Amino acid sequence: MASTLRRSRRRELVLTRSFTRAIQDKVRLESPRAAFFADRTNGHTHTPLASTFEASAVPVLTSRPSMILSLYHSTNPHQPVDPIHRLPPELLVHVFALGSVDNVMFPVLVSHVCHSWRAIVLHTHSLWRRVSLNPNSNVHMWGERIRRARLCTLDVDLASYPHARPLYDIDLVALQMHLLAPHFTALRSLDIRFDSYAPYLWNAALGPLCRSTSYLWDHRSPNPGDRSFNNAVEAPKLESLTLLYPQNDDFKEFNLFGGFAPKLTRVTLEGVRLTWIPELFGNLSFLDYTHHGFSHGEEAVGEILSMLQISSRIRELRLCICHKETTFQAFHLRRPLIGDDDVSLPFLASLSLSLGNEDSDIPSELITIVSRLSVPELKNLCLQDRCAAALGSSSRHFRPPAALPTFIDTICRNTSLRSLMAKGRWVEPSLLSRLAAQLPLLKSIQVDNIIIPMGFTLEKLYDLNGRVALVTGGGSGIGLMIAQGLAANGARVYITGRRLQVLQNVAESWNNNKKDTMGSFIALQMDTTDKVSIRQAVEKLRNDEGKLHILVNNAGQGGPRSDELNKPSTTAPKKAEEISRYLFNNESFEEWSSLFAVNTFSVYFVTVAFLELLDKGSQDKPGFTSSVINITSISGLIKVAQRHFCYNSSKAAASHLTKMLSTEFALRGIPVRVNAIAPGVY
């Protein structure tokens, strides 16, 4: 019989008088249409920067009622407001979230800045989702952080440090896992790392994550939603799992989370044996697996291939096989045998293979596994050497493994590779060259952090076939040397100057003696100080070529000299009056103007005259921009006159003119590069 004291129905929800008074105490109406919350507790003073009325005029704070209004407004109309409080709360939350990524204690630091920020931090539960435990952690403090995270998923890392004290032991790990046990279902990521050895660490750390009775021993199929059958926690929100314990000597096999983690996509393992089942690892996209070393030979190959067969959706695979010296027999559940057929990984795009021990050869298991993989979409292959990375050494300090040629032959089966990276003991120039020759789609090879693009050979680097070049003053001196260098690599070179006969003799001599792969010389008379002559040369190239790829402004002269200035003779001027009279009378305005016309003015007029053809040259070759090269001089960069003030000044002006032309072209989006070469004494 039901008790007479039990209520017959639920109490109706009514607005009580006490609740109404509490709301009225927090809400103060300024006008019939405007209301904002008042923070009665934030009564401390700030620096007098802005009044409450000025702050309330900010659109961000009055556009909508929100929690931030209760933080930034006070019942005192003259209460000053710091400008930082005018920021939208969403922006502050985003800044705090970024800080929490770098520093796990960032929310604690921010909460002690002011009452307003403390309220924001306490109301933003996602800031408290990171839980970082170590042997010195305060369990009660982290328990409070987990409570503040509320319903948010948790990012948990439990790690020890090699030189830290105290070290992890089984009791300390069990205590911290007891703290986390009620929240396993909220895990978003779990990272457990042990750098120092202690017995039974995996038992203490992974035991709470496993169920007492594995369904592998049961006659009926598991039902992830059946709690009575699973008898363990599940991980419905887990996305990333990292378990690292290189010194582990416990060969026990663990079945985690009752075999149920549907969102798990990233796994990193070293020194642990896990029961590899589709319900747990079937959706992986990233796997970093270092073999535990408790199995060898065909047994290890079968174990790893069966894992990859289950996790066939992975896109990035990192694999390392290390052997351990064991004096015991490792008992474990036998996995289904993999036949002779290849294991298909249809989505794998990146494969990284690592060598472990310094004195070991390439493990035969690794070669066998690679030969059994079918990876039609593989684009990137990375060959790492952990020993070289630890020592910070390059490949020249190590001897290549004896099995490297066999491994290279195995890799050559995959013709879809786009990039290859090799470090440490993997580097063998002759074998890498053979590999590059057999992979037609290979774009680049990175050897010890040095990227070598494919096709970047000496011939390709200086290949100028199809390019049109013009060199002023190309009939002799530096100009002729430049023209010969361009033509030797395939360019068709126009050499210009005032003396047509000299140009024709040079062009005839070159064209008669050049090789078939070299470009030709074309003689073109042009006076770089005459606009009419320059226009005629432009029209000649416009009609014959329609474009120009390379322009070398080389034409130049020496000009007037003051040889007596630095002579040690008794007649050389030494006093100010003598130097003044000598320099003033020795040179003329006409000489300076004539030299500047050749060395400086011609650079400007020739460049702008051929600019249209240079622009068309940039459009002619994809990925190529036309280039203007001005030949200045080291004399234009030094401070001494070298007995020729005029020449040094003209070359200095040409150097600065180069900077101005390149800048102006770039600002206007003209795809023409302008640079200068300043030769010295030769």
User: Could you give the residue numbers annotated as active site?
Assistant: 633, 647, 651
Residue 240 per-residue DSSP state: E
Residue 122 to residue 108: CA distance in whole angstroms: 10
Question: How many angstroms separate the Cα of 239 from the Cα of each of 145, 235, 262, 667?
Answer: 21, 9, 8, 48
Cα dihedral 494, 496, 501, 505, rounded to 10, equals: -40
Residue 131 to residue 145: CA distance in whole angstroms: 8
Three-point CA angle 643, 646, 649, nearest 5°: 105
Dihedral pair phi/psi, residue 198, rounded to 5°: -155, 145
Residue given tokens 């992890």 in the structure block = 168
Token pair recorded at residue 235: 């991980």
Give the pairing type, strands 626-631 and 550-553: parallel
* Residues sharing a CB contact under 8 Å with residue 580, sequence separation 6 or more, in sequence order: none
Token pair recorded at residue 234: 């599940």
Sign of the Cα torsion 295, 298, 303, 307 reads positive
Cα–Cα nearest to 610, from 470, 514, 446? 470
Amino acid identity, position 214: S
Residue 347 to residue 680: CA distance in whole angstroms: 58
Q: What is the 3-state secondary structure (H, E, C) of 553-593?
A: ECCCCCCCCCHHHHCCCCCCCCCHHHHHHHHHHHCCHHHHH
Residue given tokens 């750098």 in the structure block = 195
Token pair recorded at residue 239: 């996305």
The residues that bridge with 452 in the sheet, in sequence order, are 445
Residue given tokens 């050499």 in the structure block = 495
Q: Where are the alpha helices (DSSP H) in 75-226?
A: 89-102, 106-111, 115-123, 139-149, 170-180, 201-206
CB 395 within 8 A of CB 447: yes
The helix-helix angle for 602-609 and 611-620 (nearest 10°) equals: 50
Dihedral pair phi/psi, residue 20, rounded to 5°: -65, -40
DSSP secondary structure string for all residues of 76-114: STT----GGGGS-HHHHHHHHHHHHHH-TTHHHHHHTT-
Coil, strand or helix at 148: helix
CB 254 within 8 A of CB 210: yes
The helix-helix angle for 404-411 and 429-438 (nearest 10°) equals: 10
CB 157 within 8 A of CB 133: yes
Other beta carbons less than 10 A from residue 379's beta carbon:
16
Cα dihedral 423, 426, 432, 435, rounded to 10, equals: -120
Residue 547 to residue 276: CA distance in whole angstroms: 65
Residue 237 to residue 316: CA distance in whole angstroms: 22
Cα–Cα nearest to 100, from 116, 111, 115? 111
Residue 210 per-residue DSSP state: B
